[in-house]
Chain A
Amino acid sequence: MSVILNEVRRATYLDSIVLMRISRQIAALPGIEEAGLIIGTPANKEILRDAGILGPESDSAEPSDLILALRASDALAGEAALAEARRLIDHPSALGAAAAVESSRTMRAAIKRLPAANLALISVPGDFAVAEAHKALELGLHAMIFSDNVPLDDEAALKRKARERGLFVMGPDCGTAIIGGVPLGFANVVPQGDIGIIGASGTGIQEVSCLIARAGRGITHALGTGGRDLKAEVGAITTLMAIDALDADDRTRHIVLISKPPAESVARLVLDRVAKSAKPFTICFLGASDVALPANARAAATLKATADIVVGGSAASWAQQPLPGLGRGGLVRGLFAGGTLCSEAQIIFRQAGLAVMSNVPVPGASAIGRAQDGQVLTDHVMIDLGDDEFTRGRPHPMFEPGVRDGPLAEALADPGVGIILLDIVLGYGGHPDPAGHLAAFLGRWEHRPLIVASVTGTDADPQPRNAQVETLAAAGVIVADSNAEATEAAIAALGPSLDRA
């Protein structure tokens, strides 16, 4: 049976935030059905009376007194809550430790808890992301918008507003950033160094930063722009601001720019800005050809080539072993968690003169229909499993590797597929053991094609890369040092005469 307990603290003053937090904390204790901590004015006694928690002890309370009133499921729970309330009222600093990890329901509340914060990471359904980003900008915060499905007009408006205020909007659909060594979203543990990265692609940033790290170098910052920043409608607002920032940053000595091919007018804007810098740039417009670059910039066709140029040699040193001959059909099926890794693989196929299809085709590749359309796949196929088709209402394969199981089972069962190309992406935000999941899944298949994989990550990641590689190797997966090398190995295994387009 419920019990009502009241306690009056004479002439006790606590500030409003402390009162609210004690009140919430007590109300959340086991067995507490209702609780209030308010000053003993006549009006507040009415509130407590209406709520059915005013006890006779509070009749004599004065407006400068504090009333703690609660209803508990039993006396034991009620007395325990009263004791906790006494402790917190007498030592409100005890609330401090909890505050550090307490979540906030609004951005403003979060700013109150952490007034020095200068960046908001927004990960809400796209319909709501715009409003949250506006709030962040109005609070003077840079915004990293992890969310996708934000209308292009809204993106452009947000970025214009941010630029007017001297703030960055990274995104929408910005999965990765590393600011001053602090990883945001999906990001890896890479050492600090002298290379700055600007990327329209999350996995592009991850792959390049990890290759740089594994070559013994480090980065200053990795700034994500979102995949559409170089569209004409947006006008490269964030990219240009990022170039300005890294150009002005004394610690950054080399700047990397990674993106899909930009609109022509935007490319001119960006490259004109690059030309004004005294720093060397490496520019990877994945899938672009014949881009005239200024003298201080070098073009890289792939992520691997980007890292190689930046570190002045081969960023990774995979001693590629000749792959065993194909035991079955001569097609490659790539199943990628990273969209840019999927693009890079297609580009390498095209560079090798091979026809390739994809659900996210690069220039020169063919489009395939949706998975459920039942299209017969007769070419090499690279599928981005992070595309909306696979992730609408489901987790992204980078933190739920099971998303790949269905397409992988299909490829394993397809007699035309001789090689399966996979990526494993590690780091913060990723699945704790993607290699373990893959190894367990493959263990169910006795006869299977060659499986070649890359592992984007570092040994310092939460899922150490070396351990993930060992797990894959033990499962019979051939692991390359980079996505580009995995793709090249797959192509090499096809032999010289297969399916040249």
Chain B
Amino acid sequence: MLDRADVVVPILRSGVLAQDFCRRHARATVEAVFERSFYLRAGDAFICVGEPDIGNGPLTLIGHPGPLADLDLAGRPAALGGGHVLIGNSIRLSLDRSEAWRSPPWLVCPSPSRLIETCSALARRAATDAPEEGLARHVCGIGEASTHQPPLACIAGPRIATFERWLSAVLARGTPPSEDAIQGLLGLGPGLTPSGDDFLVGALALLDCVGERDAHAALGRAIIAALPGATSALSACFLRAAAAGHVGETLHRAVSSIIAGDVGAAIAAVDTIGHSSGWDMMAGITTTLRGAASTRSSSSAYV
């Protein structure tokens, strides 16, 4: 069956969760086709296949599938097995020589005061550079100054404040309070992955980076508990990956740049993720960073 493919695409790099997807599932469907990538779905699990410029990620297979519009992939079934993914009769992805990709270890975190300065610099840039859609401008205070807030900002503001209180309590006591602070952000906002989901992915990445393992685990548990029915299956996949400590290389670069105090590099990184997704992640990063820095100003978790 595998030999009938018109096009064979060697996969160059495969994210660890994408490899797992290929091992665990025999059948999948092409659920979505975009300009530079497409998504395979099996049950509630998704992986992304695309050109190198989409960036490595835990759920990503990187190769050179070429112009996707010509392949008429949408809705086609895929057969997985033996290190291959055959999509219809048209394209075969070969994982034989693919290199496994996982996000690299985080840098050692600098002092909280440095983080706060970086956070402020990011907020200033977000105020002018972030897309109007999404959360970043609101989180950076632009929404408060406006006489007419968009509906997303009106709803998101109190929910982010609730999240901040929840996070402070988790960081201070190590155990989450009973208040459910996650549900209101899940599935909130525009985009393929809603802004609220991206915000939470950013928050998870930051907690992982700064070594707040208990808080990371608590947030991950809270998200997974609240996921059913709250957001799309595709977005839920990215949230589950982040809760397990897996993020894409561009988000990893953004967080690492923030920790290194390189605001320009951080902005450049988030700006390449979707339309507002990267900025929404940065909103989650900076919100969480403020909380972590103020709670842990004297902690030995930072050097």
Give Cα A138 to B121, complex, Å: 15
Chain A interface size, as a band, is: 20 to 34
Asked if A63 meets B233 with Cβ closer than 8 Å, knowing A16-B275, A19-B192, A39-B187, the reply is yes
Q: Mark B139-180, 1 if CB is under 8 A from A, else 0.
A: 000000000000110110000000000000000000000000
Asked if A19 meets B190 with Cβ closer than 8 Å, knowing A13-B31, A43-B184, A43-B185, the reply is yes
Give Cα A489 to B268, complex, Å: 57
A-B contact pairs, 19 of them (CB 8 A): A11-B31, A15-B34, A15-B274, A17-B275, A20-B190, A20-B191, A39-B187, A39-B231, A41-B194, A42-B230, A43-B194, A43-B196, A44-B188, A63-B231, A63-B233, A106-B128, A138-B264, A138-B267, A139-B268
Instruction: Indicate if the CB atoms of B234 and A13 lie closer than 8 Å.
Output: yes
Which segment, of A46-54, A277-285, A289-297, A303-311, faces chain B?
A: A46-54
- Which residues of A lie under 8 Å from residue B191 when comparing CB positions? 16, 19-20, 38
- Which residues of B lie under 8 Å from residue A51 when comparing CB positions? 151
Chain B residues at the A interface, C-beta cutoff of 8 Å? 31-32, 34-35, 39, 69, 128-129, 131, 133, 151-152, 154-155, 184-194, 196, 229-235, 264, 267-268, 271, 274-277
Contact of A47 among B128, B151, B186 (CB under 8 A): B151
Give Cα A206 to B11, complex, Å: 53
Instruction: Indicate if the CB atoms of B232 and A41 lie closer than 8 Å.
Output: yes
- Which residues of B lie under 8 Å from residue A36 when comparing CB positions? 190
Give Cα A48 to B190, complex, Å: 11
Instruction: Indicate if the CB atoms of A64 and B230 lie closer than 8 Å.
Output: no
Asked if A39 meets B151 with Cβ closer than 8 Å, knowing A13-B31, A93-B69, A138-B264, the reply is no
Give Cα A236 to B3, complex, Å: 64
Asked if A16 meets B193 with Cβ closer than 8 Å, knowing A41-B186, A43-B185, A43-B230, the reply is yes
Nearest Cβ on chain A to B257's Cβ, whole angstroms: 12
Instruction: Indicate if the CB atoms of B129 and A16 lie closer than 8 Å.
Output: no
Nearest CB in chain B to that of A12: its residue = B32
Nearest Cβ on chain B to A52's Cβ, whole angstroms: 9
Q: Which 6 A-B pairs have the closest CB atoms?
A: A41-B187, A13-B32, A43-B188, A16-B191, A16-B275, A16-B274
Interface residues of A, dominant DSSP: helix
Instruction: Indicate if the CB atoms of A43 and B187 lie closer than 8 Å.
Output: yes
Contact of A63 among B129, B185, B229 (CB under 8 A): B229
Give Cα A85 to B23, complex, Å: 39
- Which residues of B lie under 8 Å from residue A352 when comparing CB positions? none
* Residues 26 to 46 of chain A near chain B (Cβ within 8 Å): 36-39, 41-44, 46
Give Cα A14 to B235, complex, Å: 13
Instruction: Indicate if the CB atoms of A50 and B187 lie closer than 8 Å.
Output: no
Nearest CB in chain A to that of B34: its residue = A15
Contact of A42 among B34, B128, B187, B235 (CB under 8 A): B187
Nearest CB in chain A to that of B184: its residue = A43
Nearest CB in chain A to that of B263: its residue = A138
Give Cα A205 to B138, complex, Å: 47
